Amino acid sequence: MLTEKWLANLPLPPITQVTPVGGGDVNAAYRVATTQGTFFLLVQAHQPASFYAGEIAGLKAFTAAKIRAPRVIAHGQSAGDAYLILSYLEPVANGDQSALGALVAKLHAYASPTGRFGFSQPYAGTSVSFANPWSDSWAELFINQRLDVLDAALVAKHRWAPHQRTDFLQVRAVISRTLAAYPSQPVLLHGDLWSGNYMFTPEGPALIDPAAWYGDAEFDLAITTVFGGFSSAFYQAYQHAHPLAAGFSLRQHFYRLYYLMVHLDKFGSGYSRSVQAELDAILA
């Protein structure tokens, strides 16, 4: 519960109401009404203000790409807790999945300004973090800085099931060979594109909570398939603007595996069977 003293440190007009908002598992989130409008507040307890540097950089990249998303208002630290204040987007219950597909395709049309893969900021997670160094090779960046980091975390936490790591090492070799032969292009990615990270507003669909970096567009699209929440209209509109290359049916499993390994690391053995299914699909 945020105290009046804690809230008084925020660079906002006089606050009239603070309402908790659910739906995330990383930050505490609040709708903050003030005498001069409504704002969205994220709080990460016992963290420095720099905790939000990656999200801020991602949202600013979205602004540069003309993607509808919250705008950064302010960030800092109050009583030892990091905070991030964003513009408030008013949600509506239903929206146009075709427009959402077109929005994600527009995101993926925004090329890396450096011509390289990576990002200006690391991804700082509460369970595992990724360095995001600039690289000329998508295969090396994805394998060395994502999959290998996750593998090390799973080994350290004893979360690989018996024989599962042996399968992973075989899969790693398949991924390395396949991506080395695929001409990836570095474009702006959301980085965590599940159904909880888009919303519909009166103005149209918006993307929220980015874990942005520049990588292969197939990364985002594959992640949309893990937990559902995207309709056939979404995929049709996306492919109309950004056609998928041959071989995606295999390559999508590389990114599904990554995403489920993240969940295995964070939430434990409940995701072991799903991880194994992706390993099996790649080895089949």
83 with 136, same domain? Answer: no
Give the range of the structural domain holding residue 58, as residue numbers without chain letter: 4-87
Split at pLDDT 50, 70, 90, the class of 173 is: very high
- Residue 102 CB neighbour total at 10 angstroms: 19
Query: What CATH number did the domain enclosing 122 receive?
Result: 3.90.1200.10
What is the domain count for the chain? 2
Question: Is residue 81 pLDDT above 70, yes or no?
Answer: yes
Residues in the chain, total? 284
Within a domain: 92: no
Question: Is residue 163 pLDDT above 90, yes or no?
Answer: yes
Across residues 28-36, what is the average pLDDT?
95
Interval 143-152: pLDDT, tens: 999 999 999 9
Question: Is residue 62 pLDDT above 90, yes or no?
Answer: yes
Catalytic residues: 192
245 with 117, same domain? Answer: yes
**Cβ partners under 8 Å of residue 154, min gap 6:** 160, 165, 261, 264, 265
27 with 132, same domain? Answer: no
Question: Is residue 9 pLDDT above 60, yes or no?
Answer: yes
Split at pLDDT 50, 70, 90, the class of 126 is: confident
Which domain-ending residue is among 29, 64, 87? 87
210 with 237, same domain? Answer: yes
Which domain-ending residue is among 66, 87, 108? 87
CA angle centred on 248, ends 242 and 252, rounded to 5°: 105
Q: Given this model, what pLDDT does residue 1 score? A: 64
Q: Given this model, what pLDDT does residue 24 score? A: 60
Across residues 178-207, what is the average pLDDT?
97
Question: Is residue 23 pLDDT above 60, yes or no?
Answer: no
Q: pTM for this one?
A: 0.94
108 with 79, same domain? Answer: no
42-51, 69-78, 123-132: segment of lowest average pLDDT: 123-132
Query: What CATH number did the domain enclosing 42 receive?
Result: 3.30.200.20
Interval 193-239: pLDDT, tens: 999 999 999 999 999 999 999 999 999 999 999 999 999 999 999 99
Across residues 116-128, what is the average pLDDT?
90
Q: Given this model, what pLDDT does residue 25 score? A: 63
Residue 131's alpha-carbon distances to 110, 148, 153, 219, 251, in angstroms, are: 22, 12, 14, 17, 23
Question: Is residue 125 pLDDT above 80, yes or no?
Answer: no
Split at pLDDT 50, 70, 90, the class of 96 is: very high
Q: Is-contact 209 56, C-beta < 8 A?
A: no
- Residue 168 CB neighbour total at 10 angstroms: 23
* Full strand arrangement of the beta sheet holding 28-34: 15-21, 28-34, 37-44, 81-87, 72-78
113 with 247, same domain? Answer: yes
Split at pLDDT 50, 70, 90, the class of 124 is: confident
Q: Given this model, what pLDDT does residue 2 score? A: 86
